[in-house]
Amino acid sequence: MANKPSIPKGTRDFSPTEMLRRKYIFSTIEKVFQKYGFLPLETPAMENLETLTGKYGEEGDRLIFKILNSGDAWGGVSEEVKKGLATGEVAPGKFASAVSEKALRYDLTVPFARYVVQHQNEIAFPFKRYQIQPVWRADRPQKGRYREFYQCDADVIGSTSLLNEVELVQLFDDVFSALGLHVVVKINDRKVLSGIAEVSGQPEKVVDIVTAIDKLDKIGREKVEEEMRAKGVSDEAIKGIAPLFDLKGSWSEQRPLLEKWLSSSPMAQQGLKDLSFTFEAVGALKSAKLEYDPTLARGLDYYTGAIFEVKAAEGTMPGSICGGGRYDDLTGIFGLKNMSGVGISFGADRIYDVLLETNKFPTELGGSTKLLFANFGEAEAMHCLKLLRTVREAGIAAELYPDQVKMAKQFKYADDKGIAYVAIIGENELIQGIVTVKDMKTGEQKAVKQDELISAIA
């Protein structure tokens, strides 16, 4: 089986059953996005390489899929680079940019920022857009981690109002109510985290402190402190951060402690004020629980204000199923200053896994045939064709078995495809003007008049 076809590492086929479920997730999210006033946007699968490089950090650059220039890519390489490659003076990474000027998109946020800058004069701000498209990463695949996967993003750009944060929390709640899943929405504010770094005496170490704290629930307090020490955070500063680990309870319980502890940092005070506003304004939620998580940090360093993460309250999925946050200067790298935005992203693949595990997918997902006409031969089939039309006009998904084969095979087809009813019109039924309808679930069979067919299977 050496010639057995296959697909690239980390990519997947989606079977019809999987696609019906995926579309159910996507369309649920999309409907809610639209209900909140977000408009659809699509950008190309590939961007200019220079649009993407340098936006995701050093690690990120390595994970960008680059596209080889068409034509004679090698011919476009300068003699200098060719020589350098041979001697090892030119790194392979440098060579890549010599033969590649396009790359597959790595996320939806950077192409969105590019779009906003490029079309700034046509856009009405605040601009609310959603985008549901695949992205590609040259990462090593693992369970729940692929080289091609979908992101479902919604962002508001050009507004600093905290009402946006409030609405996004409500949007999370709406989506997971529609999907019937209980979740915990965790929230924090980067300003508070910066304040903690400030109070500890090493404000320049925010990023290192934050990424270490982010791992708290995974590796424990000791290892977090160890990592901070390894990154050059002083023992004194680590001591200064210590109160964070003892924080417990609800937001209203934690808030006074934080205010006291971080009283010397105006930035932290602002963050706490913002969080309070969000907690108050969000109001009652249906399926989600909003929780303050002082250790929620999120890796991406472009976040500047609120940060979100959603975890399933059911099932065994350990990681987050959604994320998001506010960024003050996403478009600055493309030359448009003072554009604050806040956005969220749904991890469709992980949501799929959770819904499957917890058995939350509706049993009947639109798209599957409800009624199959068995094929008894040319005359009967022609007759069925007419009935088929009226059934379909009534909005019922129906099909006629195209070949005249033995009944067992046709029934098996209906069974395999999960079709609820089979209409049998053989010689007898044709003469009498009736239809024998079989319920595939119960196995019951009854004869009805032709014009009663629709009500018989409704």
Partner RNA sequence: GUGGAUGUAGCUCAGUUGGUUAGAGCGCCGGAUUGUGAUUCCGGAGGUCGCCGGUUCAAGCCCGGUCCUCCACCCCA
Q: What would the x/- binding string for RNA be over residues 249 to 278, using CB under 7 A?
A: ------------------------------
Return the residue of 107, 174, 189, 293 that touches RNA, per CB under 7 A: 107
Min dist. Cβ of residue 322 to RNA (A) = 6
Asked if residue 342 lies in contact with residue 324, where contact means CB atoms within 8 angstroms, the answer is yes
Shortest Cβ distance from residue 439 to RNA (Å)?
A: 8
- Binding span for RNA by CB under 7 A among 39-47, 165-173, 177-185, 432-440: 432-440
**Quick one: which of 429, 453, 454, 457 contacts RNA (CB under 7 A)?**
429
Segment contacting RNA by CB under 7 A, of 31-39, 41-49, 238-246, 402-410: 402-410
Q: How many residues contact RNA, by CB under 7 A?
A: 55
Beta bridge partners of 156: 128, 342
Q: Are 334 and 113 in contact (CB under 8 A)?
A: yes
Of 32 and 424, the one with the shorter C-beta distance to RNA is 424
Nearer of residues 237 and 374 to RNA, judged by Cβ: 374
55, 311, 326, 350: which one binds RNA (CB under 7 A):
350
Q: Which stretch binds RNA (CB under 7 A): 25-33, 297-305, 327-335, 355-363?
A: 297-305
**Nearest approach, Cβ of 259 to RNA (angstroms)?**
29
Q: Write b or e for each residue in 185-207: b if 16 or more Cβ atoms lie within 10 A of its Cβ, otherwise e.
A: bbbbbbbbbbbbbbbbebbebbe
Q: By CB under 7 A, name the one of 90, 117, 247, 300 that touches RNA.
A: 300
347 binds RNA (CB under 7 A): yes
Distance CA 87, CA 425 (A): 79
Secondary structure (H, E, C), the chain: CCCCCCCCCCCCCCCHHHHHHHHHHHHHHHHHHHHCCCEECCCCCEEEHHHHCCCCHHHHHHCCCEECCCCCCHHHCCHHHHHHHHHCCCCHHHHHHHHCCEEECCCCHHHHHHHHHHCCCCCCCCEEEEEEEEEECCCCCECCECCEEEEEEEEEECCCCCHHHHHHHHHHHHHHHHHCCCEEEEEEEHHHHHHHHHHHCCHHHHHHHHHHHCCHHHHHHHHHHHHHHHCCCCHHHHHHHHHHHHCCCCHHHHHHHHHHHCCCCHHHHHHHHHHHHHHHHHCCCCCEEEEECCCCCCCCCCCCCEEEEEEECCCCCCCCCEEEEEECCCCHHHCCCCCCEEEEEECHHHHHHHHHHCCCCCCCCCCCCCEEECCCCHHHHHHHHHHHHHHHHCCCCEEECCCCCCHHHHHHHHHHCCCCEEEECCHHHHHHCEEEEEECCCCCEEEEEHHHHHHHHC
User: Should residue 319 be labelled a site residue for RNA when binding is judged by CB under 7 A?
Assistant: yes
Using the rule CB under 7 A, which residue among 145, 221, 229, 273 binds RNA? 145
Q: Which stretch binds RNA (CB under 7 A): 2-10, 80-88, 270-278, 355-363?
A: 2-10
Nearest to RNA of 25, 258 (CB atom): 25
Give min distance, CB of 386 to RNA, in A. Answer: 18
Q: Which of 151, 170, 188, 375 binds RNA (CB under 7 A)?
A: 151
Does position 428 interact with RNA (CB under 7 A)? The reply is: yes
Bin 7: left if φ > 0, else alpha if -120 < ψ < 50, else beta: beta
Q: Which is nearer to RNA, 59 or 122 (CB)?
A: 59
Shortest Å distance, C-beta 111 to RNA: 14
Show contacts with RNA in window 170-229 (CB under 7 A): 211, 215, 218
We find the least distance from the C-beta atom of residue 79 to RNA, in angstroms, to be: 27
Does position 349 interact with RNA (CB under 7 A)? The reply is yes
Find the binding residues for RNA in span 408-427 (CB under 7 A).
408-409, 411-412, 414-416, 424, 426-427
Q: Which stretch binds RNA (CB under 7 A): 119-127, 176-184, 383-391, 406-414?
A: 406-414
Q: Which residue lies nearer to RNA by CB, 122 or 222?
A: 222
Distance CA 177, CA 306 (A): 23
Binding residues for RNA restricted to 8-47, rule: CB under 7 A: 9-10
Contacts with RNA by CB under 7 A lie at: 1-2, 9-10, 57, 59-60, 107, 137, 139-147, 149, 151, 211, 215, 218, 298-300, 319-323, 345, 347, 349-350, 406-409, 411-412, 414-416, 424, 426-429, 436, 438, 440-441, 443, 445
